[in-house]
Amino acid sequence: MDVAANHLNSLDLPGAPEQCRVVVAMSGGVDSSVVAALLKEQGYDVVGVTMQLYDQGEAEHRPGSCCAGQDIFDARQAASRLGIPHYVLDYETRFRAKVIDAFAQSYADGETPIPCVTCNQQIKFTDLFDMARDLGADALATGHYIASRADGAGRALYRAKDSDRDQSYFLFATTREQLQMLRFPLGEMSKPEVREHARRFGLAIADKPDSQDICFVPTGRYSDIVERLAPQAAAPGEIVHVDGRVLGRHSGVMHYTIGQRRGLGLGSAGASAGEPLYVVKIDAAKARVTVGPRSALATKQVALRDVNWIGPGALEDVAAAGLEIAVRVRSTRPPVPAVLESRNGEICVEFVDDESGVAPGQACVFYENAEPRARVLGGGFIRSTQAATMAVEPLSRAASA
C-alpha cells in the first residue's frame, strides 16, 4: 500500500503537497497573493490565475479596484516574486453579461443588488472552475476570509476566525460540488497576520488597500452605469408617505434603497413631516418611492428565490418541518435568530425579532447558530418582504416548541 497516497495534506488532499496542483485565484490584492505564497512555501504545485473582468483603462488609476489595470500588474508581479506560473484570463464579456447587466436590471426592478455574490456564483466559481480543471488542478484556492472543513464525504463552510473580515455573506451560493474543490487558507487568520506574511515574503502589495465592493464602477457613481444599461431606472416618479400623502418627486428609483434616510430630495416637505423619514418601499413598475418613519421599516418575514442549501439533509425536508437558524440580511449585520420554513411552495424566513430595513435583492444567509464560528447552511436572495405590522401565519412547530 502506498502510505503517502493515503495521507491527507494541509488541504485535505491525498498525497504530499508536491503531488498536488493548486490554482490560486489572484486578484492582485494582498489576500490572494499571500495564499499563493503560503501554498508555494508548503510545497504545492501552485499556478496563479487572474481574471480580467472589466475595462483596464477605466480602472487603471483608481485605487481600491480589483481584477483590472494595476491589479493585474500587481498579481503578475507577485507571481514572479514567488516563482509560479501566472495566467490572465479575459472574462470581460461574460462578466458584463452575467454581473454588470444583472446589477443594472436589479436596480431597475427596485432591488438593492449585491454584485459580489453574483460574481462568485456566476464567474469565479463556475468559469474559473472549468479553467482550473483544464490546468489539471486538484484544488482551487482563493483569498476569501471563510473556513471550510471536511464533513464526512463532503465539506462544510464556516464563518472565518476573524469575524470583522468574515466573508461568508458573499459565499452562501457556493454549492456542495464546488466545496469539494475549493480551499480557503485564510479562514483561520486575521488581516494583520496576512499582511505580516506578505512582508515576510517580500510582496510589494503588503500594505495595499482592500478592494471596493463594486469593483466595476470606475467613477464611484453606480447610477451612471445603471442609467446607461437600464434607462427605465431613471424614470421620474412620486415620493409618497406611507399615509398616502405625495411629498415630492424623484429622478429615478435607482437613486434609492430600502432604509435610506439621506438624499431623499424632499427638502421642506421632508422637514414638515415632523419626523425622520426613511425609504420603506420601492415600486419600480409605478416609479414610486414610499417613505415613512423608522418603525415602518420593521420586517417580520421574507420570501426567498434562488435558494442554495449546503446544510445537513435536504432543503425541502428541513423547511417543511421548520428549522431554527440564524440569518444575516446585510453583510454588515450580525446573525439573528429566525425560522426557516416552506410557505405556499416558497422558502421563507421569519425573524424571531423584527428586522429593520430589509431590502429585496439582498441576500438572506443561513447559519447553524449566531456563534462567531458557526456553520454556513446556505441562503437565498430576498424576493419580497412582509412588514411587521401585517398579520403573519403561526410559527412552525420548531419555533413554537
Give the H or E element holding residue 134: helix 127-134
Phi and psi at residue 386, in whole multiples of 5°? -125, 120
Q: Examine the residue annotation and report whether 215 is marked as an active-site residue of this protein.
A: yes
Give the H or E element holding residue 279: strand 278-283
Total count of residues recorded for the chain: 401
Q: Examine the residue annotation and report whether 67 is marked as an active-site residue of this protein.
A: no
> Cβ distance 134 to 253 under 8 Å?
no
Tell me the β-bridge partners of 302: 349, 385
> Cβ distance 387 to 299 under 8 Å?
yes
Minimal CA–CA distance to 58: which of 92, 27, 104?
92
Catalytic residue among 66, 116, 119, 348: 119
> Cβ distance 375 to 166 under 8 Å?
no
Catalytic residue among 116, 215, 348, 364: 215
Q: Give the dihedral sign, CA 3/8/9/13.
A: positive
d(CA 340, CA 324): 6
d(CA 365, CA 328): 5
Residue whose grid cell is 453574483: 118
- Enumerate the active-site residues: 119, 215
